[in-house]
């Protein structure tokens, strides 16, 4: 089988200090994967090195059998909401249309067809009425939806999302869950850095537990165990038993 994501022996260091150590991860296509682990575990770094934004000290990453450089148009990235300057003077439709630049090339002006696609993606996340709104005038949940629409319009095969549920209200959380399920139905693979351990069994098929090293990865029903959570979070997960008792 060709994996959607195939990471082998990945080690990443910032100024000689390893933050990811000898990571292996194989993700089959059409899977919703949660990446969980404490702050500083290397979750964002794992995504960034997969996207070639951080150079690994060792190891390899393949996306559907090829390096990221050959798969750019097939990979969409939803960064952390806080990592973006929301005061930048641009409107919602332009931000979403930017999702198409990988396919269009930077110098081609988006045409009507692209705008229609962007509006359709905005409708999918319930934001069609905000197309002309300046991005500085959005709530946190609306910002997150704009990001998701931008990833949707790209129509990638593999999606990486860094904490999409961070600070959103219940309605937006529902909208994101529906969107993840829709992507899965269309055979897409989605890797989500996720903090709410309670919802892992409900929202995801597979889980990777990470703390510099890979503690475990695989189907939630097999790997989201008290033992693995303790190995990942140490004594800090006092509510572990309650968490795993509700699993699928």
- Of 19, 51, 57, 177, the residue at the interface with ligand ADP (CB under 6 A) is 19
Interacting residues with ligand ADP between 28 and 67 (CB under 6 A): 37, 39-45
Q: How many CB atoms lie within 10 A of CB 16?
A: 6
Q: Smallest distance, Å, CB 1 to ligand ADP?
A: 29
Cβ closer to ligand ADP: 150 or 194? 194
Cβ closer to ligand ADP: 19 or 237? 19
Using an 8 Å Cβ cutoff, are 149 and 96 in contact?
A: yes
Using an 8 Å Cβ cutoff, are 195 and 202 in contact?
A: no
Cβ closer to ligand ADP: 5 or 153? 5
Interacting residues with ligand ADP between 120 and 149 (CB under 6 A): none
Contact flag: residue 83 with ligand ADP (CB under 6 A): no
Contact flag: residue 188 with ligand ADP (CB under 6 A): no
Q: Smallest distance, Å, CB 244 to ligand ADP?
A: 21
Cβ closer to ligand ADP: 37 or 164? 37
Q: Smallest distance, Å, CB 211 to ligand ADP?
A: 8
User: Rounded to 10 degrees, what is the CA torsion of 220, 182, 1, 159?
Assistant: -90
Q: Smallest distance, Å, CB 232 to ligand ADP?
A: 11
Q: What's the maximum distance between 2 C-alpha atoms anywhere in the chain? A: 55
Q: Which residues contact 106 (CB under 8 A, 6 or more apart)?
A: none
- Nearest-5° Cα angle at 126, 123 to 127: 80
Can you point out the beta strands (E) in the chain?
5-14, 17-27, 32-36, 58-63, 75-78, 158-162, 189-193, 206-211, 213-219
Can you point out the beta strands (E) in 176-236?
189-193, 206-211, 213-219
Cβ closer to ligand ADP: 14 or 239? 14
Q: Smallest distance, Å, CB 169 to ligand ADP?
A: 23
Size of the residue set binding ligand ADP (CB under 6 A):
10
Q: Smallest distance, Å, CB 18 to ligand ADP?
A: 9
Using DSSP bridges, classify how beta strands 32-36 and 189-193 pair: parallel, antiparallel or unpaired: parallel
> Under the rule (CB under 6 A), what is the footprint of ligand ADP?
14, 19, 37, 39-45
């Amino acid at each position: 089988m060709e994996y959607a994501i195939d990471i082998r022996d990945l080690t990443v260091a910032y100024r000689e200090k390893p933050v990811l150590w000898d990571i292996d991860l194989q993700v089959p296509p059409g899977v919703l994967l949660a990446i969980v682990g404490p702050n500083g575990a290397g979750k964002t770094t794992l995504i960034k090195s997969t996207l070639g934004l951080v150079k690994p000290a060792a190891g390899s990453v393949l996306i559907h059998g090829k390096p990221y450089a050959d798969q750019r148009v097939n990979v969409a990235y939803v960064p952390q909401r806080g990592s973006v300057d929301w005061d930048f003077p641009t409107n919602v439709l332009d931000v979403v249309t930017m999702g198409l630049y990988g396919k269009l090339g930077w110098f081609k002006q988006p045409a009507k067809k692209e705008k229609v696609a962007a509006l359709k993606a905005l409708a999918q996340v319930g934001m069609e009425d905000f197309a002309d709104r300046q991005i500085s005038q959005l709530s946190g949940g609306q910002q997150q939806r704009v990001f998701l629409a931008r990833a949707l319009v790209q129509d990638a095969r593999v999606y990486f999302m860094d904490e999409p549920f961070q600070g959103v209200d219940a309605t937006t959380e529902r909208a994101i869950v529906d969107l993840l399920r829709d992507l899965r139905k269309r055979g897409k693979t989605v890797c989500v850095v996720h903090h709410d351990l309670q919802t892992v069994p409900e929202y995801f098929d597979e889980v990777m537990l990470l703390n510099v090293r890979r503690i475990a990865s695989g189907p939630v029903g097999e790997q989201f165990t008290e033992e693995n959570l303790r190995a990942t979070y140490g004594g800090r997960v006092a509510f572990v038993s309650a968490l795993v008792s509700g699993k699928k």
